[in-house]
Structure formats: structure tokens, C-alpha cells
Amino acid sequence: MVAFELPQWTALAPALLLALTALVLFVFDSINPRSTNRPVVAGIATVGSLASLAVAVWFIVVGVGDPDRGGVIDVFGGQFVVDQMALFFMVVVSVVTALVAVASYDYMRDHAYQAEYYSLIVLAATGMATMSAANSLVTIFIALELASLPSYALVAILKNNRGSVEAGLKYFLIGALSSAIMVYGISLIYGATGHLQLEAIADNLDAAEEFGGILGLGILMLIGGFAFKTASVPFHFWAPEAYEGAPAPVSAFLSSASKAAGFVIAFRVFTEAFPLAETTAVIGVDWTLAFIILAVVTMTVGNFAAATQENVKRMLAYSSVGHAGYALIGLAGLGAGSELVLGAAMMHLLVYGFMNTGAFLFVALAEYWGVGRTFEDYNGLSVQAPIACVALAIFMFSLAGIPPFGGFWSKYFLFVGALEAGLFIVAAALVVNSALSLYYYSRLVKAVWIEEPVLERESLAQPTGLYAAIVVAAVMTVVLLPGFGPVVDVAIDAAATMLG
């Protein structure tokens, strides 16, 4: 196979391609400063992320990192690994990046800093792709910061918009705080075990016997860091503010890709570095308990908060908190040693990458039209823009988990996974929350399709980039249903490797 004749580091190609794309954008910007040549910059970002996507998919198909066909590839002395899970999440990240890059073409039309915007997006994506492959607490922390720093700037990029600047500041402050907590947790873990590389930590858990309390505290702080990145309770407060204030494509990017990247680290750290039985013996507490509580609380808080919103973007922001709760089931269910539940969480994050990005891009479209922010403002949009509203209905019903859309599959798999792991309360919470979520999701569908417009609107423009991104996301949300077979295989295999 070609991949193995190349140097090992080329296995990181999906992430490296994104980094290269960011550099190309910098070069373009330095040759041609202050360029507003949107087709070129958006084009570079899109082509770069699609190339990354293509390579990642190709790697998965030829079996890079597949234990049956050559095995996991260690890069840079085990600081990074390329396995099926890393590639799976690189796919999620690059898909969302491509969608956002295409959609931003119209949304950022009048913005002064075109090249800067796209390079920040691609840099953040590089950080997220690196997060997927990071295999040591140090590389994890660096990758996390590489993803976070551009994100702070992106949220605040509308410099003349108070909401955007305020959101950026809040996001930055909470982000800095959670980074501090996390890095302190890492230092405690290092202190207890003497290692940072994940397998090495696992191998040296016995040595940490006398520092059980310190290790436990370190793990708890690490969980805090993940909770921030994935917008899980209790570190979710930044999410509605940041998502609401940020430009909508950036909200889409953060709530889909950044969240997925946060989860991949959590999956890797807790399966590789802290095997359940050994860790429980040392710290005296089963860490899945923390995730069981987090999952139930996060999905409930997110859904109830979403149900009470009047502002569409805030509703989506809180609903994305709820979805973090669903994905946390993947970690909560690890106690049963079933690869199904972890695979189901990965599948949910992939489907979520399409449906949630699409939903936020529809908000971007509405902002582009200037129709307003509340449910009432969206009333009757389907008369002027039926295609986009069909896509919106698909996203909403899929997010609610109604067949025949992709979201039904992934939620169903999570449900079965939770049952198999014996987590009946979590499974019940999933069903109840899904039923509740139908209320506020269908409210948006009702607004655009059934309600009469409050005021007459001029006919609405059809920006090509935004439309293309939304339609692609909608088609993928539908096509994922019949095409789910391969996705299931990849996700379950990847999960099996992690637990192997």
C-alpha cells in the first residue's frame, strides 16, 4: 500500500494539508494584502479542506490505522497516532470546514479581512484535526490551544458589532480559565504517574497508587477542560453567548467541528490513559460515573433551556448543549466495555456535523437576508425560499431524531448502546429529551412553513455559496440514512480498536 512506503509522518496528511492551506492563505495575504478577492481566498480554504477530506476518506478506505491491515501508526515517538478514530474525526472536521468555507463566501461578503478570516478558520481546523490524532497530554493541550486561539478571534471578528466582541471576550475568558484548569489537571496527572504519553500513563497507573487522590483530582480537572470544549454542563455557559454573538458560520463551525474535536480527545484519553478497572483501583471511583451524571444533566439542561428560547440562534446553541449530552453517552457507556456505544457517539458526531452545521448555516442565510432573530421573524420564509426551508425542515427533524433522517440512526444507536451497557436511566433520559426536543425543533419548522409572515418582505436573494452549503448538508443528512452501513462499520471498528 502506498501509504506505508512514505515516511510515517505523512499519515498525518489530513491535518498537514489544512496547515498548508492556512500557510497558502498567509502567503496570498502577504503578497496581496487587504485583498478582497473573495473567490480566491474562499476557494483556497474550500479546496484545502476538501483535499484534507479526500485524503482522510482515502486513508480510511485503504485501511490506514486498521489493526487488521498494518495497524495504528505512531508518529513522532507516539506523540500522535493515526488510527481509524483519528481519521474518522478528521473527516468530520474537514467536512464542516468545507461547508463553512463555502457558506462564508456570501456571509463575509462586505468584510474587510477576507484572508485573515479564512486563515483563522483553517488554522482552527488544523488544531481540531491535530486534536483527533494527539496521543499525549502535551500534544493534546497544544492542539487544543491551536484550535481555541483562532476561535476566540473568529467569534469577535465582527469588530463593529458589540455582540460579537462581547461574545469573543466571554469566550476567551472562560476558555483561558478552563485551559488553566486543564493544564493544572495535566500537571497533577504527570505528578502522580510521571508520564504524559497516554499509553505510558496507563502502564504506570500502579506507580500512582499512593497519589490516588492527586490523580483523581487531575482527572476531574481534565474532565473540566473537555466539558468546556464540548460545551457540556457545567462549563456550557459560554456556548449560547458565543454562538449567538459570533457570525453564524463561525457558530456552525464551533458547535459542530470544535465539539467533535473535544469529544475525540475525551474518547482517546479515557480509553487509552485511564483504563476503567485499573484507574478505579487507584482512585477509588469509577470515572464513568462522572460521565453518566454529566450526560444526563447536560442533555436535560440543554433541552429545557432550548425549549424556552425566543431567539433562534440561542435555541440552536442550547440544543447543541443537549447534543453534547447525547454524545457523552459514548463515554458513560464505556463501563460495559461495549464498542457499540462509543461507535454510536462517533456516528452521532458525524451526523451532527451535517445537520447542526446546516441549521446554523440557515441562520446565517437568515442573517444575510436581515430577517431578524426570533421565531416570529422567521415566519413564512418558505414562501420566498422553499428550497432552503425544505433543508431547514430536514435539519430540524433530523436533530429531533425522526426518521427517515440521519439523526434518527445515530440516536437510535446511542439508545441501543446505552441499553446494552445497562444504563437504563441514561437511555430513558435520551428518549424523553428527544421527545421534548421535538417541541422546539418543530416550532421552527412551523414558523417557516405554517405561520404567515408578520410583515411583508421583498423577494429574497439566493446567495450561491450559502445555498450550496445548505443543500449539500441537507442532502448528506438524508443520504446518510441509506449509506449508513459503511459509516457504522468504520465507527464500530474504530471504537473496537480504542477499547481493544
Partner 1 sequence: MMIEALIAVALIGALVTFVAPNRIAGKLAFGISLIPAALSLWMFAVFDGSGNALLDGDLAFESQMEWIQLGEYSISWLVGLDGISLPLVVLTTVLTSLAIMSSWTPIDERESQFYGLVLFIEANLIGVFAALDFFVWFIFWEAVLIPMYLLIGIWGGPRRKYAAIKFFVYTNVASLVMFGAFIALIFGLDVGSFALPEIADAMLDGGPDGFAGISGSALASIAFVALFLGFAVKVPVVPFHTWLPDAHVEAPTPASVLLAGVLLKMGTYALLRFNFTMFPEEVAAFAIPIAAIAAISVIYGAMLALAQTDLKRIVAYSSVSSMGYVILGLVAYTQFGVGGATFQMVSHGLISGLMFMAVGVIYNATHTRIVSDMSGMADKMPVAVGILIAGAFGYMGLPLMSGFAAEYFIFFGAFGSEVLEYAPVFTAIAMFGIVIVAGYLLFAMQRTLFGPYRLETDYEVSRAPLHDIAPMFVLLGLIIALGVAPELIFEMITDAVDPILELGGDA
Q: Does 460 bind partner 1 (CB under 8 A)?
A: no
CB-based contacts of 77: which residues, under 8 Å, 6+ apart?
none
Q: Select 352 or 449, whichever has its Cβ closest to partner 1.
A: 449
Task: Provide, rounded to whole angstroms, the least separation between the CB of residue 495 and partner 1.
Answer: 11
**CA 361, CA 103: separation in Å to the nearest integer?**
7
**CA 36, CA 41: separation in Å to the nearest integer?**
8
Tally Cβ neighbours within 10 Å of residue 336: 17
Q: Which stretch binds partner 1 (CB under 8 A): 6-14, 88-96, 165-173, 484-492?
A: 484-492
Task: Provide, rounded to whole angstroms, the least separation between the CB of residue 110 and partner 1.
Answer: 31
How many residues bind to partner 1 according to rule CB under 8 A? 34
Radius of gyration (C-alpha) of the chain in whole angstroms = 21
Contact 326, 413 (CB under 8 A): no
Indicate the pairing of strand 73-75 with strand 80-82.
antiparallel
> H-helix or E-strand containing 210?
none
CA angle 271, 276, 281 (to 5 degrees): 145
Q: Which stretch binds partner 1 (CB under 8 A): 89-97, 178-186, 233-241, 478-486?
A: 478-486
Task: Provide, rounded to whole angstroms, the least separation between the CB of residue 450 and partner 1.
Answer: 4
Three cell numbers, residue 4: 506505508
Q: Does 479 bind partner 1 (CB under 8 A)?
A: no
Three cell numbers, residue 405: 433522517
Q: Does 16 bind partner 1 (CB under 8 A)?
A: no
Q: Does 489 bind partner 1 (CB under 8 A)?
A: yes
Contact 63, 118 (CB under 8 A): no
Task: Provide, rounded to whole angstroms, the least separation between the CB of residue 486 and partner 1.
Answer: 9
CA angle 267, 131, 401 (to 5 degrees): 55
Tell me the backbone φ, ψ of residue 82, rounded to 5 degrees: -115, 105
Three cell numbers, residue 53: 477530506
Three cell numbers, residue 412: 437510535
Q: Select 200 or 383, whichever has its Cβ closest to partner 1.
A: 383
Q: Select 4 or 424, whichever has its Cβ closest to partner 1.
A: 424
Q: Which stretch binds partner 1 (CB under 8 A): 207-215, 280-288, 295-303, 477-485?
A: 477-485
Q: Select 219 or 427, whichever has its Cβ closest to partner 1.
A: 427
| 264: nearest Cα among 82, 114, 109 | 82
Task: Provide, rounded to whole angstroms, the least separation between the CB of residue 321 and partner 1.
Answer: 23
Task: Provide, rounded to whole angstroms, the least separation between the CB of residue 412 and partner 1.
Answer: 9
Q: Does 375 bind partner 1 (CB under 8 A)?
A: no
Binding mask 395-424 for partner 1 (x = CB under 8 A): --x----xxx---x----x-xx--xx---x
Q: Does 492 bind partner 1 (CB under 8 A)?
A: yes
Contact 171, 229 (CB under 8 A): no
**CA 487, CA 472: separation in Å to the nearest integer?**
18
Q: Does 450 bind partner 1 (CB under 8 A)?
A: yes
Task: Provide, rounded to whole angstroms, the least separation between the CB of residue 382 and partner 1.
Answer: 8
CA distances from 67 to 19, 63, 466 (A): 28, 8, 40
Residues 279-338 that bind partner 1 (CB under 8 A): 338
Amino acid letter, 285: V
Helix, strand or coil, per DSSP, at residue 374:
strand
Contact 425, 300 (CB under 8 A): no
Task: Provide, rounded to whole angstroms, the least separation between the CB of residue 497 and partner 1.
Answer: 16
Task: Provide, rounded to whole angstroms, the least separation between the CB of residue 84 and partner 1.
Answer: 16
Task: Provide, rounded to whole angstroms, the least separation between the CB of residue 415 and partner 1.
Answer: 8
Contact 448, 378 (CB under 8 A): yes
Residue of 449, 466, 469, 472 interacting with partner 1 (CB under 8 A): 449
Residue of 6, 61, 112, 387 interacting with partner 1 (CB under 8 A): 387
Q: Select 149 or 390, whichever has its Cβ closest to partner 1.
A: 390
Task: Provide, rounded to whole angstroms, the least separation between the CB of residue 483 and partner 1.
Answer: 10
Q: Which residues bind partner 1 (CB under 8 A)?
A: 338, 340, 382-383, 386-387, 390, 393, 397, 402-404, 408, 413, 415-416, 419-420, 424, 431, 435, 438, 442, 446, 449-451, 481-482, 484-485, 488-489, 492
